[in-house]
Amino acid sequence: MGLNHTSHPVLATIDAAAILARTESWCAINSGTSNLSGLARMAHKLAEAFAALPGQIELVDPAPVTTIAPSGEQTEQPHGQHLVLRVRPDAPRRVLLTGHMDTVYPPDHPFQAARWLDAETLNAPAAADMKGGLAIMLEALLAFERSPEAATLGYDVMINSDEETGSLASAALIADLARGKLAALTYEPATAPDGTLAHARGGSGNYSVVAAGRSAHAGRNPQDGRNALLALADLALRLKQLTHADLSVNPARIDGGSANNVVPDHAVLRFNIRPRTVRAAEDFARSFAALLADIAAAHEVTLTPHGGITRPPKPVDARAQALFDLVQQAGADLGQHFGWRPSGGVCDGNNIAAVGVPVVDTMGARGGAIHSPEEYLIVPSLAERARLSTLVLLRLATGALA
């Protein structure tokens, strides 16, 4: 049969009704990143479903994560457990498949129920991003396990609980599981309803800067004060000026201040950066350090930075392009025709690529309007993309990627 596989009998076993049923069931569970009870329920349901595959399932505790409160103090940010499945860990060829169980919809969000927009379009929380993608991943693996080729390929599955907030509690786990893998597939939704894949991605970093100044009476002795709010306003303006073609800087919020008759001695600035290249990220780090020193000296305040780049830029090298070509050819052989384009968004594919593993990170469903009450899933894409993943796995198992 060679590497054609398009008539492989396991492709006919893809069960469209089962994929949809799983998707609808999982969408009915609120698993917003901060909803720990909902995440625990979702993890339990996923563990039950993925137990149909061979291998060992483990629920892994999240790594500790701290956040900066408006007071400037570091506080621990709780997260849910992550699911890991290891299949044939001793196989000479191994791949990684990843997804996330968390969503952007907290329990008090008005968007909680599903409805059909038409016979092929489901509007439901996380239907595209990415409960549908998780159902696609599972169905593809079930089909792949029915093939004789499965014996030659091992894989790990990682489904984390904090992707929507940057994967800080799972970044080390992702890196550990990715190292040494032949390739990785991540089940974010396609970037367009036609199935377009995300190609190169920029990076993302989130920062907080705590300013400590000196309070004073705004009328009697303002000259004795050191205005923390003013210092951070100055910093925000100068950070924005660092924006260029390969870097976007977005000052987002300043917490702090005081009564109108008091020079404020405390404030916290929060901002995000989006470097398109590794060089841009490195240049920003140097510029940021210099800015902190200049602002601290000019305003006579103490500035304490926190945070950093959580998603490194994801360039596409020759090995990654070979995986894109393999996926595109598999799609074409199945009658699915799609291209790719760069994306300004970030995901766990950035983290995987950072350890040198080729990854296609939009293997999930076709749909759109994600992160909004209009989020929709194109239901026929569930079986379509499951067949795509199954064929990609068959070709990876038979040596299609060196």
The whole-chain average pLDDT of the chain stands at: 97
Domains and CATH numbers, the chain: 9-65+77-202+314-397 (3.40.630.10), 204-311 (3.30.70.360)
Per-residue pLDDT averaged across 36-40, rounded?
98
pLDDT tens digits, residue range 312-348?
Answer: 999 999 999 999 999 999 999 999 999 999 999 999 9
Which tokens in the block code for residue 395? 């070709």
Per-residue pLDDT averaged across 39-67, rounded?
98
**pLDDT value of position 219:** 97
Q: Are 55 and 141 in contact (CB under 8 A)?
A: no
Kind and range of the H or E element at 249?
Answer: strand 247-256
Report d(CA 104, CA 165) in Å as an integer.
9
**pLDDT value of position 1:** 36
pLDDT tens digits, residue range 11-29?
Answer: 999 999 999 999 999 999 9
Report d(CA 250, CA 310) in Å as an integer.
15
Quick one: pLDDT band at residue 199, thresholds 50, 70, 90?
A: very high
Q: Which of 86, 124, 108, 97 is nearest to 38 (CA)?
A: 108
Per-residue pLDDT averaged across 219-248, rounded?
98
**pLDDT value of position 6:** 87
**pLDDT value of position 2:** 42
**pLDDT value of position 3:** 67
Q: What ranges in 148-302 are assigned the alpha helix state H?
A: 171-178, 228-240, 278-299
Quick one: pLDDT band at residue 402, thresholds 50, 70, 90?
A: confident
Report d(CA 169, CA 61) in Å as an integer.
9
**pLDDT value of position 4:** 78
Q: Are 191 and 341 in contact (CB under 8 A)?
A: yes
Whether residue 130 is preceded by a cis peptide bond, meaning omega within 30 degrees of 0, is: yes
